[in-house]
Amino acid sequence: MLAAALTTQIALASKYITDGFKIGGDNPVWHLSAELATPLDGISLQFWSALQVNRANQSYDELDAMVRYAHTFLGDKRLAVNVHGFADYWVYPKATVPSLRGNKLQAGVSLTNLLDSPQSWLVPSYNVFYWLYWDRGQRTSYQGGARHELGLQYIRTLPRLIPGTDAQSAAVGGTLNYNDGAFRVRPGWTHSTAHVGTTVSAWGCQFSLSVDRQWSYEPSVNPENELWSTFSFSKTF
């Protein structure tokens, strides 16, 4: 049996964009999370949050509790497949709208070993996210549905540019997203994203910086394009 490990993360984002939606306007948020690996192979428990820096906007605070799964099959082969997913209970505890809470399920696959290189990874992926959600808690007003995501990411290790660091990498990627009607969105291709970032490992910690861009095609998801950045610090105990 595997020993349990706890990974904690603190991140600051210039705004909160999730599933194409902008939550809380153009205001920065803290993302605080803790993930506990269990003795069961591939299964972990996670607490995650999006907390508005400006406490006048605390009605947009989000809390999530998740059970996660991830496992890579054929790990030493070119066609190695990572299968992953989670079950999430999310809630906005201070929302002005009653019963702003629900469940979210996710399942996905990614190919993690397509390039025959120890320094580079090209990772195509497919993910589906499904919500179980009733407006104002009324079971007669079901607003669930799915978002489908096609993704592609390229990751490469970099020379250690900062003295004292253990490793550094850079990543660039993007996604194309389809919503089938969840949250009263008009079904269709709703948005695409692009991101670039770097991660530095040092002193037993990881420091990451990313810049993200979203192009919106459906006003019921987001009426405008978005640009935001995130800095995060994580450590595993």
**pLDDT tens-digit readout, 144-169:** 899 999 999 999 999 987 778 899 99
Beta strands in 184-225, from DSSP E residues, in sequence order: 188-202, 205-216
One-letter amino acid of 24: G
Name 138's bridge partners.
none
One-letter amino acid of 93: P
As a whole number of angstroms, the distance between CA 207 and CA 197 comes to 11
Please enumerate, as own/partner, the contacts of 22-30 that have beta carbons within 8 Å and a separation of 24 or more.
Answer: 22/222, 22/226, 23/50, 23/60, 23/62, 24/52, 24/57, 24/60, 25/57, 27/52, 27/53, 27/54, 27/57, 27/60, 28/52, 28/53, 28/54, 29/53
As a whole number of angstroms, the distance between CA 83 and CA 92 comes to 29
Token readout for 198 is 């770097």
The pLDDT tens digits of the residues spanning 36-94 come to 999 999 999 999 999 999 999 999 999 999 999 999 999 888 899 999 999 999 999 99
As a whole number of angstroms, the distance between CA 50 and CA 30 comes to 6
Answer yes or no: are the C-beta atoms of 178 and 8 closer than 8 Å.
no
Question: Range with the lowest mean pLDDT among 157-166, 168-177, 199-208, 226-235?
Answer: 157-166
What's the mean pLDDT in 200-212? 96
Stated pTM of the model: 0.91
